[in-house]
Structures are given as structure tokens and as C-alpha cells.
């Protein structure tokens, strides 16, 4: 194969994901997205959060807050205004990135509600003695540690914890049983694929968690960023196919002599704004680690070769 210069040269077509970027941000307002479910959007738009963090409120009267969001006074004030006259009984955290969990602290001080989560940042790695990256919310420690299959019940609502490591090792989804919905954090997002950043992020675990969700019967997903996802199992199947195709592109690059991370990103993401290449490199690095661990590739310094 002639050394490729762009993605089309690899001869591997990525499955087309039906991404939905139609979303009108209404910062600080209470939006009723479904019976018993409200959302308040934080004003923290960026390439990773889309239009911002969507904090969900479950129930009425006595409510749970899912992913309080970033440490923004404006957003905390909007959340407290949204629950005025009600009692916050639970604060649920999908994971400990800075756009999801930091506002739990002031919300807890204001309401007295306990926090629920899988554990502190890197909790799924610390048990193996692996130190994770510095980018997470290192201050968050849940009052109540929950794991896969645990049930959290409130006044008129109930959620099941679904451990979905991959984006982070402590990532949880919360299955809202009555309407058969899933608060899926960053594990699945309808506007973009999810960035996986080793060592806390792990592509093999992400594949397994996607397959776990594909086997469920949830009718709708509520991601923390972007619009709700209908027909979620089909979308998850598309994500799995997309990720597998991306790994075939990486293997095709290496077979053609493109053996370094930066060069691979330049080819694979040739049609993407170069300003986004550093973010893309994070997921390519995670794919490479997965391929090496599976024996499909081997690493020699900063270069990669076909495995044996």
C-alpha cells in the first residue's frame, strides 16, 4: 500500500453515525424533558461539553439531582431556584470529570443531601495500584458508594446503578426504571463520540460497557451533554461498529508504514479541523493500547508494528 495521506486512502469506510447536533441551549432555565424529569443547562460550552452540562432532576417534591455539573455560581443558583419549595434527597454522580461533579459540594452544603457515586476519581483503577491522570475532580468522595446493580430509591422514583467503565473507570449510568430511561452521563452521547483517555479511560472496558448497554431494553437515553437519544440500542450498535472500523484504520495505517501516533491522527482525521486533532489523539492512543493488549499490535518506543 502506498503510504496514505488522508483517511480515504485507507479504503476503510466508517459506519455513518446518526449524530444529532440540533440543540437549542436555554441556560439556567428549567426544561421538562419527560414526565418526572427536568433539566437545567450549565453555561459551560466547549468542544468536549457541546452546549454545556445538562443537570437532571428526577421526581417532584423530594428529588434527586443527577450530575450537578461544573463549579459555576450561576449554575448552582439556577439549580437551587429550580428546586425551590422542594427537598433534594439524593445527589447522583455519573463520574468525576470537572464538568460533572464539582457542583455537588455547594449543592450538598445548601441542601444537606448525600452524594452517591462509584468512588473518587480513578476508583476503578486505584484498586490495581494504577495512578490516573490529574484532570479529574480530585475533591469528590461520595457519601454513599454504589456499584453495578445497586438500587437507589426516593419518593416516587427508583434508579438502578449500571457500572460502565471506559470513559472513566468510575463511570456509572442510572437506569430510571418506571419510564425505562437511562441517564448515561458521557458514556453515550448523541452529538459526538466519547473521548477515551488512558490510563483511567480504557478502550477494552468501553467496548464491554457498550455491549452491556446494547443488551438492555432502555427506551431512551438522557446524556449529560446534548439531546435525548431515541432508539438507543441501534445507536450503541453503531458506536461499536464505528470503533471497530477505527481500529481497522489504525491497523491499515501501520501496515502502510504510518507507525507514529501523530502521523496516524493526521491521516485518520484528515477531514477534521486540525484544532481537534489533540482530542482525537487521546482516543487513538486508547485504541492503540487496546490493540497492543489484544496482541494485534506491538509497540516499539513511539512506533507501532503489526502484532504476532
User: Which pLDDT belongs to residue 120?
Assistant: 86
User: Which pLDDT belongs to residue 20?
Assistant: 95
Q: Which of 178, 193, 226 is the last residue of a domain?
A: 226
Q: Is 149 exposed, middle or buried (0-12, 13-18, 19+ CB in 10 A)?
A: exposed
User: Which pLDDT belongs to residue 133?
Assistant: 54
Is 134 part of a structural domain of the chain?
yes
User: Which pLDDT belongs to residue 128?
Assistant: 52
Looking at residue 113, which CATH number applies to its domain? 3.60.15.10
Which of the 8 DSSP states describes residue 200? T
User: Which pLDDT belongs to residue 198?
Assistant: 87
Give the count of beta carbons closer than 10 Å to the beta carbon of residue 154. 17
Arithmetic mean of pLDDT, 55-83: 98
One domain for residues 52 and 107: yes
Q: Give CA–CA dist 184/307, Å, rounded.
A: 35
User: Which pLDDT belongs to residue 127?
Assistant: 52
Q: Give CA–CA dist 99/153, Å, rounded.
A: 25
User: Which pLDDT belongs to residue 125?
Assistant: 63
Strand 297-300 versus strand 303-306 pairing type? antiparallel
One domain for residues 38 and 92: yes
User: Which pLDDT belongs to residue 5?
Assistant: 87
Better pLDDT: 5 or 267: 267
One domain for residues 302 and 258: yes
User: Which pLDDT belongs to residue 39?
Assistant: 98
Q: Mean pLDDT score of the chain, rounded to an integer?
A: 93
With b for 16 or more beta-carbon neighbours within 10 A and e for fewer, the 9-18 pattern comes to: bbebebeeee
Arithmetic mean of pLDDT, 248-274: 93
Contact between 271 and 7 under an 8 Å Cβ cutoff? The reply is yes
Is 202 part of a structural domain of the chain?
yes
User: Which pLDDT belongs to residue 152?
Assistant: 98
Arithmetic mean of pLDDT, 73-78: 98
Is 25 part of a structural domain of the chain?
no
Pull the grid cell for residue 166: 471506559
Looking at residue 280, which CATH number applies to its domain? 1.10.10.10
Its pTM stands at 0.94
Q: Which of 204, 226, 248 is the last residue of a domain?
A: 226
Q: Each residue of 122-158: pLDDT tens digit?
A: 877 655 555 545 468 888 999 999 999 999 999 999 9
User: Which pLDDT belongs to residue 177?
Assistant: 85
Is 102 part of a structural domain of the chain?
yes
One domain for residues 191 and 247: no
259 φ/ψ angles, rounded to the nearest 5 degrees:
-115, -5
21-25: Cβ within 8 A, 24+ apart: 21/50, 21/191, 21/226, 22/227, 23/50, 23/51, 23/191, 23/226, 23/227, 25/51, 25/52
175: helix, strand or coil: strand
Give the count of beta carbons closer than 10 Å to the beta carbon of residue 34. 14
One domain for residues 76 and 132: yes
Arithmetic mean of pLDDT, 281-299: 95
Give bridge partners of residue 145 from the DSSP assignment. 117
Is 165 part of a structural domain of the chain?
yes
Q: Give CA–CA dist 275/273, Å, rounded.
A: 5
Is 234 part of a structural domain of the chain?
no
CA distances from 146 to 123, 124, 280 (A): 12, 12, 32
Q: Each residue of 186-242: pLDDT tens digit?
A: 999 999 999 998 889 999 999 999 999 999 999 999 999 999 999 999 999 999 999
Is 219 part of a structural domain of the chain?
yes
Q: Which of 193, 226, 259 is the last residue of a domain?
A: 226
Show the CA angle centred on residue 84, arms to residues 81 and 89, nearest 5°: 110
One domain for residues 65 and 206: yes
Is 162 part of a structural domain of the chain?
yes
Residue 184's domain comprises 30-226
The domain tally of the chain equals 2
User: Which pLDDT belongs to residue 251?
Assistant: 96
Amino acid at each position: 500500500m502506498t503510504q496514505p495521506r488522508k483517511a480515504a486512502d485507507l479504503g476503510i469506510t466508517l459506519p455513518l453515525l446518526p449524530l444529532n447536533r440540533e440543540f437549542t441551549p436555554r441556560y439556567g432555565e428549567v426544561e421538562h424533558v419527560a414526565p418526572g424529569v427536568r433539566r437545567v443547562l450549565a453555561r459551560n460550552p466547549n468542544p468536549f461539553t457541546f452546549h454545556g452540562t445538562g443537570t437532571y432532576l428526577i421526581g417532584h417534591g423530594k428529588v434527586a439531582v443527577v450530575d450537578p455539573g461544573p463549579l459555576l455560581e450561576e449554575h448552582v443558583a439556577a439549580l437551587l431556584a429550580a428546586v425551590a419549595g422542594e427537598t433534594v434527597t439524593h445527589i447522583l454522580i455519573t463520574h468525576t470529570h470537572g464538568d460533572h461533579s464539582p457542583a455537588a459540594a455547594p449543592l450538598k452544603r445548601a441542601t444537606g443531601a448525600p452524594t452517591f457515586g462509584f468512588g473518587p476519581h480513578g476508583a476503578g483503577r486505584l484498586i490495581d495500584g494504577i495512578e490516573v491522570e490529574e484532570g479529574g475532580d480530585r475533591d469528590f468522595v461520595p457519601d454513599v458508594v454504589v456499584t453495578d446493580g445497586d438500587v437507589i430509591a426516593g419518593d416516587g422514583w427508583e434508579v438502578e446503578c449500571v457500572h460502565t467503565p471506559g470513559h472513566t473507570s468510575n463511570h456509572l449510568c442510572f437506569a430510571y426504571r418506571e419510564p425505562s430511561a437511562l441517564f448515561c452521563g458521557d458514556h453515550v452521547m448523541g452529538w459526538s463520540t466519547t473521548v477515551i483517555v488512558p490510563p483511567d479511560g480504557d478502550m477494552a472496558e468501553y467496548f464491554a460497557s457498550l455491549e452491556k448497554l446494547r443488551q438492555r431494553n432502555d427506551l431512551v437515553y438522557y446524556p449529560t451533554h446534548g439531546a435525548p437519544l431515541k432508539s438507543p440500542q441501534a445507536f450503541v450498535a453503531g458506536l461499536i461498529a464505528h470503533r471497530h472500523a477505527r481500529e481497522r484504520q489504525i491497523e491499515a495505517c501501520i501496515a502502510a508504514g504510518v507507525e507514529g501516533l501523530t502521523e496516524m491522527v493526521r491521516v485518520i482525521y484528515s477531514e477534521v479541523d486540525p484544532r481537534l486533532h489533540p482530542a482525537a489523539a487521546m482516543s487513538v492512543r486508547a485504541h492503540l493500547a487496546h490493540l497492543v493488549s489484544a496482541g494485534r499490535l506491538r509497540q516499539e518506543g513511539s512506533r507501532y508494528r503489526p502484532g504476532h
